[in-house]
Amino acid sequence: MNDTILVTGGTGGLGRPTVSHLRAAGGDIRVLSRKPGDGRVVANLQTGEGVTDALEGVHTVLHLATNRWNDAKQTGQLIAAAQRAGAQHVVYISIVGIEEIPYRYYASKLECERLIEDSGLPFTILRATQFHDFVASFFTAQRRLPVLFVPDLPVQPIATHEVAARLSELTRSAPSGRVPDIGGPEHASVRSLAEQWQAAHGTRKRTPRLAIGGKTVAAFRAGHHMTQLPGYGTETFAEYAAREATSGSHRA
């Protein structure tokens, strides 16, 4: 069987570990990118330039690319090229709860899911909760402030490398449609995670509540972005924070 796999978004935070998993398993792994490089094919999902050539001879498309505003347009370009190329499997990463949370980015992800489902191509769609490093970005963004503002919300973060491993597994398996959502090993408040982050980085800022409202926040507060426990992931946020603090890649 032709095992050529094309990965979009393969140079991003999720893409890099996913591509590493795929390459370790062997086969022809191509990364679609706007910039040339080793193992890359140059194309632009926004304009469609080069996408048809990038799909030539491809059996499976793993679609990780996102730009937060034009995902549906890019996904449409990719799906059309995959149909012309006769691709046999499209794998897509999405987000838990997108049909319940009235957020523009989530609405775009849901539209992408529907484009894939309606394409006639065999597909697999995996939804995941927020990544550890996404949650941590709220804390690192405030590193110069004397306090650490936190929203009054629950979260269930998961390790990026665990999502990457699951995506690699699904990409090398038969099309499965919408597979079970995955999330991290714990439900926790953002405040408690902020405290864990500070403990790992040796800081002791106050964590005043950030007062925000609206339908989107209410949907998050209701937990629509989380899965039931036990979660798929095993690395806790505290373990992630300790690992990152040791590596020095993030500073509080």
Contact between 223 and 154 (Cβ < 8 Å): yes
Task: Report pLDDT digits (tens) over 87-111.
Answer: 999 999 999 999 999 999 999 999 9
Residue 252 lies in a domain: no
Residue 225 in domain: yes
Q: How far apart are the first and last CA of the chain?
A: 49
DSSP class of residue 101 equals S
Asked if residue 201 is part of any domain, the answer here is yes
Task: Report how far Cα 151 is from the mean position of its chain's Cα atoms.
Answer: 22
In a domain, 144, yes or no: yes
CATH of the domain at 215: 3.40.50.720
Is residue 119 in some structural domain?
yes
Judge whether 12 lies within some domain: yes
Is 59 a domain residue? yes
- Amino acid at residue number 220: F
Q: Residue 69: pLDDT band by 50, 70, 90 thresholds?
A: confident
Average pLDDT, the chain: 95
Domain extent for 93: 5-247
Helix (H, G, I), strand (E, B) or coil at 104: helix
Q: Tens of pLDDT along 13-68?
A: 999 999 999 999 998 999 999 999 999 999 999 999 999 999 999 999 999 999 87
Residue 117 has a pLDDT of 98
**Number of domains the chain contains:** 1
pLDDT at 1 over 50: no
